[in-house]
Amino acid sequence: MQDQSQQIRLAASASDSSTLGLTVTDVIPHVLFGGRTNLIFVEIQTNHGITGVGEASLEGKTEAVVGAINDVKEYLIGKDPTRIEHHWQTIYRHSFWRGGVVIGTAISGIEQALWDILGKALGVPVHELLGGRVRDRVRLYANGPRGNSPEEIADSCLRLVEQGWTALKLVPFDRVQGVASQEDLRSARHQLSLIRDKVGPDVDILIDCHGRLSPTSAVQMAQALEEFGIYFFEEPVLPEDPASMAMVAESISIPIATGERLFTKWGFRDVLELGAASVLQPDLAHCGGIWEARKIAAAAEVSYVGIAPHNPYSWLLTTVSVHLDFAIPNFVIQEFLVDHPPEVEQLFAERFVWQEGGWVDPPTAPGLGVELDWDAVRAHEQLPYTRTYQPSLWHVDGSVADW
């Protein structure tokens, strides 16, 4: 007599016939060292030779995400890859332990790869499967000003503007305790003053706070910097406290953005209900994938809240995000990491292309339109595995600060 779990698996398989004749034959996580962090690409193979790819990169949690992907592998093999929402619901809800960044990242990379398969099977770009384009081009901002001093950072901003970028994001301060000191405020103002003098009044400057501030110091910092025309103020306080973020939003004039550390539609519910942010930043490598981000965008649209997807990873996640950006009416701007190591760029058969001013044209190739150089990927995987860690930050008195 079959046990209950066997009966459930057999019933699921019997009902899983594909109208396109596709079944999943393998799910392979590829771990690739990307400099500051490991990258995780998810490859899903099918019986007809159509392969989908997705990105499930997560700083400092590589082995946990790979383990979660391998946990799902047995379920997916033999299934119809085009039943994307059904598989999402099964993987997410039948795990019993819901949410969290590890499960969210694993399911996101898998989900992206399934969309890639569906688009390739039908011969259309993924954004056409999301309702079609609602715009003709997508604007990127450069996450990449670097330097060891305020002057070097300002010079880095100028170089990006000279390359054609019209929007830049940076963190103009390090650790700040519960109440910002005059030195904290003066240093941040000095940095922004140097940048504005270099890039002029028309470049959009985005401030990433990394959740380093308390509600009190967030208000202090925003008020100290508002004269420099800040585009948005990202994650001023820790994302798990939307009530405090809402308090900050009521006290400052700069729009607040948040969402890179929130997962699934449920993670964004309180932010929207409390009016805690003007811009949501779901990360399509963590939030649950493309369709879950589409649901988050729809919920935000009702509250006149914009979407600016978080994206500190490779060109694969950039392209995934751009497909969503073309299909949602409340898109604002797309994050783009400008300083990929050469060995990461070599993983791709073609470079990611953007136009003057940081604009991207609609992808036209079927699926996601990303072609990996599989020889380079497999050669990269032969390198010794390198564990990566998140940076640590400490206050001047030795206590732990939020990085």
Name the residue among 31, 69, 106 with its Cα closest to residue 386: 31
Is 10 a residue whose pLDDT tops 60?
no
Residue that the structure tokens 């904290």 belong to: 184
Confirm whether 374 is domain-assigned: no
Helices (H), 259-349: 264-274, 290-302, 315-327, 342-345
Contact 248, 221 (CB under 8 A): no
Query: What is the reported pLDDT for 354?
Result: 94
How far apart CA 336 and CA 355 sit, in angstroms, is: 13
DSSP string, 243-263: HHHHHHHHH-SSPEEE-TT--
**Range of 12's domain?**
4-125
Same domain assignment for residues 121 and 136 = no
Q: Looking at 48, 86, 190, 210, which residue is catalytic?
A: 210
Residue 387 lies in a domain: no
**Model confidence pLDDT, tens digit, residues 19-37:** 789 999 999 999 998 878 8
Mean pLDDT of 372-386: 87
Residues forming beta bridges with residue 283, ordered by sequence position: 310
- The answer to the question of residue 90 being in a domain is yes
Pick the more confident residue, 399 or 365.
Answer: 365
Whether the per-residue pLDDT at 403 is higher than 80: the answer is no
State yes or no: pLDDT of 5 exceeds 50.
no
Rounded CA gap, 46 and 179, in Å? 56
Number of structural domains (the chain) is: 2
Q: Are residues 180 and 279 in the same domain?
A: yes
Q: Which of 106, 125, 144 is the last residue of a domain?
A: 125
Query: From CA 182, how far away is CA 173, in angstroms rounded?
Result: 12
What pTM was computed for the model? 0.93
Q: Could you give the CA distance from residue 261 to residue 268 in angstroms, rounded to a whole number? A: 10
DSSP state of 363: P
Chain center to CA of 131: 21
Domain check: are 139 and 240 in the same one?
yes
To the query of whether residue 48 is one of the catalytic residues in this protein, the response is no
Query: Does 39 share its domain with 182?
Result: no
Q: Please give the single-letter amino acid code of residue 307.
A: I
> Do 311 and 274 fall within a single domain?
yes
What tokens were used for 44? 């899903």
Is a pLDDT exceeding 80 seen at residue 265?
yes
> Given pLDDT bands bounded at 50, 70 and 90, which one contains residue 84?
very high
Q: Give the model confidence (pLDDT) of 227-258 as tens digits.
A: 999 999 999 999 999 999 999 999 999 999 99
Cβ neighbours of residue 204 closer than 8 Å, sequence gap 6 or more = 141, 166, 167, 168, 231, 333
Clarify whether residues 110 and 132 are in a common domain: no
Q: What pLDDT, on the 0 to 100 scale, is given for residue 168?
A: 97
Closest CA to 195 of 158, 148, 232, 142: 158
Structural domain ending residue among the three candidates 125, 159, 194? 125
Torsion of CA 10, 102, 350, 157, to 10 degrees: 160
Give pLDDT, residue 13. Answer: 47
Over residues 181-203, mean pLDDT: 97
Higher pLDDT pick, 96 / 331? 331
Task: Answer yes or no: do 32 and 178 share one domain.
Answer: no
Q: Is 398 left (phi over 0), alpha (psi -120 to 50) or beta?
A: left
Active site residue 94: no
Structure-model confidence comparison of residues 393 and 363, the more confident one: 363
Q: Active site residue: 310, 323, 340, 380, which one?
A: 310
Other C-beta atoms lying within 10 Å of the C-beta of residue 7: 11
Read off the pLDDT of residues 316-325 as tens digits, 9 standing for 90 and up: 999 999 999 9
Same domain assignment for residues 260 and 165:
yes
- The residue type found at 113 is A
Placement of tokens 């932010």 in the chain: 271
pLDDT, tens digit, for every residue of 131-148? 999 999 999 999 988 999
CATH at residue 10: 3.30.390.10
What is the tally of helices (H) and strands (E) in the chain? 14, 14
In a domain, 375, yes or no: no
Token couple for 391: 């940076």
Q: Assign 16 a pLDDT band (cuts: 50, 70, 90).
A: low
